[in-house]
Structure 1
């Protein structure tokens, strides 16, 4: 195992000092899993303040799409910063207009359905979701929404009303925005509907809701992640997204795809919905769009977004020139080969994880697309019981071995490295993961 890059006990003395200072002045609400204090990064490699080197397969929660400090992104950010740092969205500038043109060209409503698109630029995924649900209500004049259990869409009050990946995210904040009804997300590995096509069963369930308790004529939109992220990196069954599209069309409901985590090349395509050839009416993007700079976008059919009147929605920082410059450079790189690399290297990664799955009975499933991959850990009694303690132990041991990971769902290790991660780096990560699994299993006897 490659442990030579870890030079100190973790956390090291400088990290301990920084963490102690943080505890006095920074909110304790951040869900930090292990004591990593970053100094700098290059590509998929990062170093902590004590000089320990790690492979970053969390990438700032799928934000660092082009890796840490990609030279092209750094170059355009420096150039843009030297011109002007900010002008409010009341005015115009080249980076903002150019990004809007780029998003209009790449939007799945255009590439899959041949419809023109427009964008509203903002700072984050949660703000993009807020904009999307506001647009849906404004256009349809309907008050209700359908969301999915396990979904994560943000933490501000509107987006939080959809978020249901963990109850702790809503605990203490009720009531959130009214009008949201949650339905199951189809999970082929953990089916809720026995002996049925899980996607069709969920569609039938929504149909039953429309008959019994949620009038379809009052539903503005259905908000869904094409691949569920925080809920477990769950890939829906084929036909599900197309079924949602048909259901929405039948009832005059808008379909919103949250591609904050799955978009911008993450799955080997520009947007995950392209794997199934289904176009939304509205799409949200953020995270990897700016390679680390805060930016988000609501992308919608032009026929929908053009209905917003002057002053109907706005913000101060939307279209920030530095963030837009980073986004334009990011999209250059993603289109120029990074999405293709995610598909190729992701396939190799899935194969390597499959090899581990054949050796470890605690690995229940390996699933994903591109470099958005989940490895679900289970008990060994044949019941597929989530192995929560084991998952936490693997994440912790991986950190001590020099690999940064995060979990999702009940007990899934998720992998979301930069899109330019190499085969060699994947092989190193698998070696570190293998050792971490062995160490965690030695210390873990309770599968729950």
Structure 2
């Protein structure tokens, strides 16, 4: 590619994707040549401010020097040892470190390669420990795209033409205050957690192994539950002999201004799943449980050839050090500032129906204020506007995700090292895009 004409290099990459890769995702159309910090550069030398982080992955910044060096150091020693055949130090050290930084008595970790693998493994462990088979997850939630994790995902758009997925999965209402019939536009009383009890009684065979939730819903639209909701969900799960699985694949590793999103709610889950930010871009996933729960697995119950790759584990150890060295604090402080700035947008623009989030995981929900939304609740989601705003931002040199259950939420998920000036630039660009696209 270095021999390509820079003026046509982007187009060449896109043509290769069209010709040789399966169409697995809608592209943000930024062919990446290099990246550093919060900046991504394409093959034509165009630079972009990245406030999406490759879907909340490069938490400590693109090409973080210390993380890169940690990976290089391990590459000079050995690349593959299959941590479940040949014990090696990087996996042992990372597992010990996770026992220190995960909540409560969570102690033992299984390493895989991705978030969806972590979720699948967590469900297997919950079934083995409880002796039960059924699982309940949230409507509008997202847990992955393999058949097991897809069954947990509460959004038909991910499942089209992929069924049938596994049985024994039910769903209950998401704590989506902005579009909740119970809340009616006011403060959320948390009654949606009580609805879990109703769903268990009406949609299960009383054989519940796990309740799986994202502590803050990412693909659903940056939905933050009300105070007390997660604790109530855990209590209901335990009352029915089930475990609480917190899917922290997107929310973990400082994303919400704390190491884990569950920290905000003072809840210790029975199993916590991790990926994305764990190794800052190197493929690694994990799930961690208490010793009592983890020891339900016997030798051979679960395995991963590449899980616990020593290079990825070495990078992950440095990621944790970087996060605890001040980056989580930056995420918390910048998040507080971002919350205030986004709230101003909600006041200034009718098409901004709601702003919400924690830390540097925040969303701006765009709506058509002239029409009532689904089930007569809140204004109509405006996915068309969100798409055009996203394209406008791209032209202005800002990479911002667009998502949410209705496809109408602009997603702020930048590297956690981002500065106030860079965040302000992103917000100014968003304002300009909204103004022009609604003129």
Q: TM-score with structure 2 length normalisation?
A: 0.94
Residue 233 of structure 1 contacts residue 408 of structure 1 at CA under 8 Å; is this kept in 2? no
What does residue 20 of structure 2 align with? 25
Equivalent residue in structure 2 for 1:105, among 100, 107, 113: 100
2:45 counterpart of 1:60: no
What does residue 348 of structure 1 align with? 337
Instruction: Write the distance in 2 (CA, Å) between the matches of 1:137 and 1:370.
Output: 33
Cα drift, residue 358 of structure 1? 2.3
2:405 counterpart of 1:416: no
Structure 1: stretches of 5+ with no match in the other structure? 1-10, 443-448
Instruction: Write the distance in 1 (CA, Å) between the matches of 2:242 and 2:351.
Output: 42
Residue 199 of structure 1 contacts residue 236 of structure 1 at CA under 8 Å; is this kept in 2? no
Instruction: Write the distance in 2 (CA, Å) between the matches of 1:365 and 1:307.
Output: 44
What does residue 184 of structure 1 align with? 173
Instruction: Write the distance in 1 (CA, Å) between the matches of 2:7 and 2:301.
Output: 51
2:245 counterpart of 1:251: no
Equivalent residue in structure 1 for 2:133, among 139, 143, 155: 143
2:131 counterpart of 1:134: no
Instruction: Write the distance in 1 (CA, Å) between the matches of 2:203 and 2:305.
Output: 40
Instruction: Write the distance in 1 (CA, Å) between the matches of 2:153 and 2:334.
Output: 31
What per-residue deviation string (whole Å, max 9, x for no partner) do you get for residues 78-119 of structure 1? 1111111110121111111110011101111x2xxxx25110
What does residue 393 of structure 2 align with? 398
Instruction: Write the distance in 1 (CA, Å) between the matches of 2:195 and 2:23.
Output: 39
Residue 125 of structure 1 contacts residue 285 of structure 1 at CA under 8 Å; is this kept in 2? yes
2:262 counterpart of 1:273: yes
In structure 2, do the counterparts of structure 1 residues 120 and 363 end up closer, same or farther at CA, with 3 Å as the change threshold?
A: same
Instruction: Write the distance in 2 (CA, Å) between the matches of 1:340 and 1:52.
Output: 31
Residue 138 of structure 2 contacts residue 172 of structure 2 at CA under 8 Å; is this kept in 1? yes
Equivalent residue in structure 2 for 1:125, among 115, 118, 126: 115
What does residue 5 of structure 1 align with? none
What does residue 51 of structure 1 align with? 45
Instruction: Write the distance in 2 (CA, Å) between the matches of 1:186 and 1:215.
Output: 24
Question: Where do 1:35-434 residues align within 5 Å?
Answer: 35-89=29-83, 90-108=85-103, 110=104, 115-165=105-155, 167-193=156-182, 200-216=190-206, 218-381=207-370, 383=372, 384-409=379-404, 410=406, 411-434=408-431
Instruction: Write the distance in 2 (CA, Å) between the matches of 1:356 and 1:120.
Output: 43
What per-residue deviation string (whole Å, max 9, x for no partner) do you get for residues 291-313 of structure 1? 01010111111110012111111
Residue 279 of structure 2 contacts residue 316 of structure 2 at CA under 8 Å; is this kept in 1? yes
Q: CA RMSD in A?
A: 1.6
Residue 199 of structure 1 contacts residue 239 of structure 1 at CA under 8 Å; is this kept in 2? no
Residue 58 of structure 1 contacts residue 406 of structure 1 at CA under 8 Å; is this kept in 2? yes
Q: Say which is worse superposed, 335-344 or 382-391, in terms of deviation.
A: 382-391
What per-residue deviation string (whole Å, max 9, x for no partner) do you get for residues 249-301 of structure 1? 22221000000000100000000011010110001000000101010111111
In structure 2, do the counterparts of structure 1 residues 172 and 199 end up closer, same or farther at CA, with 3 Å as the change threshold?
A: farther
What does residue 375 of structure 2 align with? none
Instruction: Write the distance in 2 (CA, Å) between the matches of 1:200 and 1:401.
Output: 40
Partner secondary structure for residue 161 of structure 1: helix
What does residue 376 of structure 2 align with? none
Instruction: Write the distance in 2 (CA, Å) between the matches of 1:277 and 1:292.
Output: 28
Cα drift, residue 13 of structure 1? 2.9
Structure 2: stretches of 5+ with no match in the other structure? 1-5, 373-378
Cα drift, residue 354 of structure 1? 2.2
Cα drift, residue 356 of structure 1? 2.5
In structure 2, do the counterparts of structure 1 residues 187 and 328 end up closer, same or farther at CA, with 3 Å as the change threshold?
A: same
Cα drift, residue 202 of structure 1? 2.3
Instruction: Write the distance in 1 (CA, Å) between the matches of 2:76 and 2:425.
Output: 39
Instruction: Write the distance in 2 (CA, Å) between the matches of 1:333 and 1:350.
Output: 24
Length, aligned pairs only: 424
What per-residue deviation string (whole Å, max 9, x for no partner) do you get for residues 35-80 of structure 1? 2111101100111111001000110100001111011011111111
Partner secondary structure for residue 262 of structure 1: coil
Residue 129 of structure 2 contacts residue 293 of structure 2 at CA under 8 Å; is this kept in 1? yes
